Copies of this chain bind each other. A is one copy, B any other.
Amino acid sequence: MASIKDVAAEAGVSVATVSRALNGHPSVSPAARARVLAAVETLGYRPNAVARSLRTDQTRTLGLVISDVMNPYFTELARSVEEEARALGYSVIIGNADERPDLQDHHVTTLLDRRIDGLLVSPTDGGSPRMLEAARAGTPMVFVDRWIPGVDVPVVRSDGRAAVRDLVAHLHGLGHRRLAIIAGPAATTTGRERVDAFREALAAYGLPLPDAYIGQGDFQAGSGRRVTEGFLDLPEPPEVVFAADNLMALGALDAVRARGLRVPEDIGLAAFDDIPWFLHTGPPVTAIAQPTRDLGRAAVRALVERIAGRAGASVTLPARLVVRRSCGEPDGTTPHQSPSPVRRSTP
């Protein structure tokens, strides 16, 4: 592979001039610039990003450590992150933690070793020593979706509280009273928050959330299935199950079908995170949609701010309820009064 020296030799100038010509430095004569460009062309020269990074101490690369690539929500997030980063001249290296703290650590370490300019993390757990250390050491960092309390890092996330209230109002309006939740891991903020929001919303209607109606999941399909089976085995099963993410909702659907039961006739289902497939399941699933694209964009912008040495503000965007048929057929009128916008979506 041709190096800058080869280009210099071909153009009959020094490497300094080649570098300047290629980086748009003002004091290069038009003649020299032209010769350099011609040499670059004939040799098919491309600057070595590794060497450049070593010298300039910046890689123009962002690291993104997400909890689970197979989860469509995170896939979409990753995609929007990459898009925005590309627009800003950065590349993105994605690390898939698969909801495993050890893997998350592995990726954080690898990315730091590669001297990425900034790190975007959706933490799987309460924060590994390596990550906390990185945050303290001053690595530009931003949390997306999930975060770790007590760490001075901007957080870009979606607030589902209002949407969960809308969901409970919707369910209440449909006549449902026994509502259960498949929770995410308590080690994650989203795992805790969604349960809290659900409990609060229920309380507003004077409904209880008994322990038997809180199933402990891990944001993966298998746990959704197991928890739902547990619910169905209860002497008094819930009328509706609310899954704290889309994968656990999928597992719940599995469990219901495996018993030969139907949604929503035998049991209702709602999910946090809306994904394209929910339109096509039998029946279409009522879900809480996050503004995923905007979250990705905002996260990258905040991170780039941090890299530039500025503050980089936290951002919280509202989620919204998307009503479909999985909790029972609405009767055609608004099922509840709510100040926040509720989109009715029927395929």
Contacts and interface: CB of A to CB of B under 8 A. Distances in A.
Contact of A51 (B44, B54, B93, B277): B54
Interface in A1-34: 1
Interface residues of A, number: 47
Interface string A262-293: 00000000000000110111110000000000
Contact of A46 (B76, B109, B279): B109
Nearest to A82: B96
A134 B75 CA distance: 29
Contacts of A59: 50
B50 A114 contact: yes
Contacts of A91: 93, 110, 114
Interface stretch (A166-174, A237-245, A251-259): A251-259
A250 B221 contact: no
A101 to B, nearest CB: 16
B282 A254 contact: no
A129 to B, nearest CB: 11
A197 interface: no
Given A283-B282, A347-B257, A276 B50 contact: no
A242 to B, nearest CB: 17
A266 B159 CA distance: 42
Contacts of A93: 91, 93
Contacts of A53: 50
A113 interface: yes
A298 interface: no
Nearest to A91: B110
Contacts of A79: 69-70, 96
Contacts of A276: 221, 250
Interface string A126-155: 000000010001000000000000000000
A212 interface: no
Interface string A35-61: 000000000101111110110000100
Contact of A50 (B46, B50, B257): B50
A115 interface: yes
Given A54-B54, A94-B94, A277-B281, 20 more contacts: A1-B137, A44-B133, A46-B109, A48-B113, A48-B115, A49-B113, A49-B115, A50-B54, A50-B115, A69-B79, A70-B72, A70-B79, A86-B106, A91-B93, A250-B276, A250-B277, A250-B280, A254-B279, A277-B280, A282-B282
12 contacts: A46-B109, A49-B113, A70-B72, A86-B106, A250-B276, A254-B279, A254-B347, A257-B280, A257-B347, A277-B280, A281-B282, A282-B282
The 6 A-B residue pairs whose C-beta atoms are closest, nearest first, are A282-B282, A49-B113, A277-B277, A257-B347, A49-B114, A280-B281
